[in-house]
């Protein structure tokens, strides 16, 4: 079973198979609608360029919605679309797995001291 264009996992990976995208989604799931600066603060170490880039891609792919308020100072809000919300089970599984194995990896680290 080769992993070609019709592979469901490949399709999913093409949309959210990127470290920063997952973290952006995490932020939107946890905190709801977020402004650019909220995301910037909420995701440690992401550069503005990367944040902009990934937000644009998520928007093009119909996963998030970008609402611009035509005012000064500028205000832009990002929120999940229905498609974006449908990704929640995946994020939930990643969260559960992380909780479980963060414990383990912290123990490992402790044992190595």
* Binding residues vs a copy of itself (CB under 8 A): 1-4, 6-14, 17-19, 22-23, 26-27, 30-31, 41-44, 83, 86-87, 89-102, 105
B/e letters for 34-48, b = 16+ CB within 10 Å, e = fewer, are bebebbeebbeebee
Return the number of the residue (75 or 88) whose C-beta is nearest a copy of itself.
88
Residue that has been written with the tokens 């644009």 in this structure: 56
Binds 107: which of DNA, a copy of itself, none (CB < 5-8 Å by kind): none
With CB under 5 to 8 Å by kind, the binding choice for 42 among a copy of itself, DNA, none is: a copy of itself
89 φ, ψ to 5°? -55, -35
- Pick 50 or 91: Cβ nearer a copy of itself: 91
Query: What is the C-alpha separation between 91 and 93, in angstroms, rounded?
Result: 5
**CA angle, corner 87, sides to 44 and 25, nearest 5?**
15
Residues of this chain that bind DNA (CB under 7 A): 18, 20, 35-38, 40, 45-50, 52-53, 55-56, 66, 68, 70, 72-77
């Amino acid at each position: 079973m080769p992993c070609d264009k019709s592979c469901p996992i490949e399709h999913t990976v093409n949309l959210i198979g990127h470290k920063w995208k997952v973290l952006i989604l995490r932020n939107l799931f946890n905190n709801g609608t977020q402004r650019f600066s909220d995301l910037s603060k909420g995701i440690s170490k992401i550069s503005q360029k990367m944040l902009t880039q990934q937000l644009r891609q998520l928007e093009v792919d119909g996963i998030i919605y970008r609402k611009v308020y035509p005012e000064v100072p500028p205000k832009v809000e990002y929120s999940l679309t229905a498609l974006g919300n449908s990704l929640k089970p995946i994020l939930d599984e990643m969260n559960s797995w992380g909780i479980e194995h963060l414990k383990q990896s912290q123990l490992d680290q402790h044992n190595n001291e």
